[in-house]
């Protein structure tokens, strides 16, 4: 008899749970005064769809992220290490509020940490960078 493993995606409740987490996550980041400017003029419904696919993929779900490469999607934003850390913290807090186990939150955070070099550009004067026009 083979032992069947349950993915983190299934463990947290699958697609409906991921959708609720993504909605809560964007409520948090768009209300954060240090992050809100990154989302000005952005189609949040489209962004939520991509984020749900990305989180689902990271958690071992059946869907795959089909958006632009993360580096390309974030290049013009001038994202700092501090902003990246705040975003990851908001996602972790949202997952915790949704009842995700600590080990699942840790794995998601670890996977996101692996994207830091593609997302953080911290280019002075880049649109969205602190102090940029």
pLDDT digits (tens, 9 = 90+) for 89-104: 999 999 999 999 999 9
What's the rounded Cα separation, in Å, for the pair 119 and 28? 19
Residue 47 falls inside a structural domain: yes
The whole-number pLDDT of residue 103 equals 94
8 Å CB contact between 51 and 22: yes
Residue 4 falls inside a structural domain: no
8 Å CB contact between 125 and 132: yes
The whole-number pLDDT of residue 130 equals 46
pLDDT at 3 over 60: no
Residue 96 falls inside a structural domain: yes
What's the rounded Cα separation, in Å, for the pair 76 and 91? 22
What's the rounded Cα separation, in Å, for the pair 53 and 57? 6
8 Å CB contact between 62 and 8: no
Range of the domain at 18: 12-119
Residue 101 falls inside a structural domain: yes
8 Å CB contact between 45 and 79: no
Residue 71 falls inside a structural domain: yes
The CATH number that applies at residue 36 is: 1.10.490.10
5 secondary structure, DSSP code: P
8-64 residue pLDDT tens? 999 999 999 999 999 999 999 999 999 999 999 999 999 999 899 989 999 999 877
76 secondary structure, DSSP code: G
Residue 38 falls inside a structural domain: yes
How many domains are there within the chain? 1
Predicted TM-score (pTM) of this structure: 0.83
Residue 67 falls inside a structural domain: yes
Residue 128 falls inside a structural domain: no
57-74 residue pLDDT tens? 999 998 778 888 888 888
Average pLDDT over residues 126-133: 44
pLDDT at 127 over 60: no
Residue 81 phi, psi dihedral angles, 5° rounding: -60, -40
């Amino acid at each position: 008899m083979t032992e069947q493993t349950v993915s983190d995606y299934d463990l947290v409740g699958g697609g409906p749970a991921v959708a609720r987490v993504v909605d809560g996550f964007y409520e948090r980041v768009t209300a954060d005064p240090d992050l809100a400017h990154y989302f000005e003029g952005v189609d949040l419904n489209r962004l939520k769809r991509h984020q749900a696919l990305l989180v689902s993929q990271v958690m071992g779900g059946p869907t795959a992220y089909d958006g632009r490469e993360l580096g390309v999607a974030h290049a013009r934003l001038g994202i700092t290490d501090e902003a990246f850390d705040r975003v990851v913290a908001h996602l972790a807090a949202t997952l915790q509020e949704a009842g995700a186990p600590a080990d699942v939150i840790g794995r998601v955070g670890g996977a996101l940490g692996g994207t830091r070099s593609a997302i953080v550009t911290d280019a002075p004067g880049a649109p969205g960078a602190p102090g940029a026009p």
